[in-house]
Structure 1
């Protein structure tokens, strides 16, 4: 979180360039949330955005090492009424708006896994590499009104290595309906024992190879967190976006030798060109 000054810069840009966004004000996003890409300009058909971001984040879950990473941004989208189908990097998904206050989403993506080399200080030595695997993400948001000022959110992540669930509340700042502005989410995250041990458990073989104590987690509460998202149109085609995330681990996760920090944090900024 050392780079939160980047978010302050974004807030300054929001004020300095607000006059450049007037052309976007009449557009209506499927759901006016800055955390959701919508390049369709409120129209049916194909849409495309391409960009690049930079993130300062934990090297792996539980790490006390941080580093910079470049990330591609954007997506190919196809809109039909209240439905958007999209391909974004390694994710293929659909989201749909129902009754103006329900947003449903289903995505097939990939978990990047974890490699021993993710720790430059050797804290993962002997734990082996985890392979990349497919995941299914199901999400629902229920707004309290059609302006999407406040909402409830629920998400389930399932795949070959257990299940994770997220539950929370969100608030959107600003009056724009084109997906710009900022939002804040407060969430609670739970996981089953299989998912918990994938990230923070140490089996007998790993313990023998690494010298770390054998560790088994029972599942339950994983963390509580806060997530901030920002999006702004610099002009008719360029978007600037930012995100900051802080996740504080539960006592069971903090007791794992893999969790060298009590939290995970990330901050990122980037640009997207909308064609």
Structure 2
């Protein structure tokens, strides 16, 4: 009987260790969201992913012209527990998980700006170039369920040419906790007058040079939007991702002569190799 009891204790203990190991292996990502790159495989230290993406998108904000662009994908990351520091493209940032239901992220990057030749049809001629500049992004997501099935999201973007704010809700599809699956967000976006006029305003000087009506916008509602993310983890090394974005402008923005379309849209697909 004593031997049997000992054997049972050993089996229970082994079962506990096995279930713990499986639980740890099933949650390799810090948060199971397809929109969040996590190459750590659940381990602290350095990780690196490199790939390419192909995007079909509007030529500039408010444009009715579309084009194809190839973009690098991936990032260099360093993970320590529930904190990840990363360098991705021109962005340097940190994200951290707090209390299992708050994902906070801070990023310093660049605002792409705009050039007259972004329009092949000459729609921006006479408006001059908007130079690339620094931007600071602070974002927080609050999970509404333990498995990050639903969440609220808020984002503030501070640039040299004004500020932008975003609020929305998100939904994750799929049962895995490794960052694969589908994700969709519905958002409402606001901007201040400086940000609005940088992208859609026309000064008297620009009006004289371009022939477009002088336009001044006030701050407030900018747009309503939807964004979709997909990630498929083929194996330990390869990942496939896809994303789509639709932003429908407010009437104030649509009234600008720069807004040749009522919306901005983008769709992309790509791959990442994790080293």
How far apart, CA to CA, are the structure 1 residues paired with 2:190 and 2:152? 16
Partner of 1:114: 114
Partner of 1:39: 39
Partner of 1:213: 213
CA contact (8 A) 1:25 1:177 kept: no
How far apart, CA to CA, are the structure 1 residues paired with 2:267 and 2:76? 24
Partner of 1:101: 101
Instruction: Say yes or no: does 1:226 pair with 2:226.
Output: yes
- Scaled by the length of structure 2, what TM-score is found? 0.91
How far apart, CA to CA, are the structure 1 residues paired with 2:28 and 2:172? 15
CA contact (8 A) 2:44 2:80 kept: yes
How far apart, CA to CA, are the structure 1 residues paired with 2:137 and 2:46? 23
CA contact (8 A) 2:93 2:108 kept: yes
Partner of 2:83: 83
CA contact (8 A) 1:162 1:193 kept: yes
Deviation, 1:188, is 0.2
Partner of 2:268: 268
How far apart, CA to CA, are the structure 2 residues paired with 1:265 and 1:65? 11
CA contact (8 A) 2:111 2:159 kept: no
Deviation, 1:155, is 0.1
Deviation, 1:236, is 2.1
Deviation per CA, 1:217-260: give whole Å up to 9, x if none.
Answer: 00100000001100001222110000011100000000000000
Partner of 2:131: 131
How far apart, CA to CA, are the structure 1 residues paired with 2:231 and 2:84? 19
CA contact (8 A) 2:193 2:219 kept: yes
How far apart, CA to CA, are the structure 2 residues paired with 1:26 and 1:140? 24
Partner of 2:251: 251
Partner of 2:10: none
Deviation per CA, 1:70-108: give whole Å up to 9, x if none.
Answer: 000000000000000000000000000000000000000
Aligned counterparts, 1:57-206, within 5 A: 57-206=57-206
How far apart, CA to CA, are the structure 1 residues paired with 2:235 and 2:177? 16
Deviation per CA, 1:151-194: give whole Å up to 9, x if none.
Answer: 00000000211100000000000111110001010000000000
Q: For structure 1, which runs of at least 5 residues remain unmatched after alignment?
A: 1-23
CA contact (8 A) 1:32 1:180 kept: yes
CA contact (8 A) 1:25 1:176 kept: no
Deviation, 1:110, is 0.2
- Scaled by the length of structure 1, what TM-score is found? 0.91
Q: For structure 2, which runs of at least 5 residues remain unmatched after alignment?
A: 1-23
Deviation, 1:25, is 6.4
User: Which SS does the other structure have where 1:222 is aligned?
Assistant: strand
Q: Which moved more, 1:27-36 or 1:46-55?
A: 27-36
CA RMSD of aligned residues (A): 1.2
User: Which SS does the other structure have where 1:145 is aligned?
Assistant: coil
Deviation, 1:27, is 4.2
User: Which SS does the other structure have where 2:26 is aligned?
Assistant: coil
> Size of the alignment, in residue pairs?
253
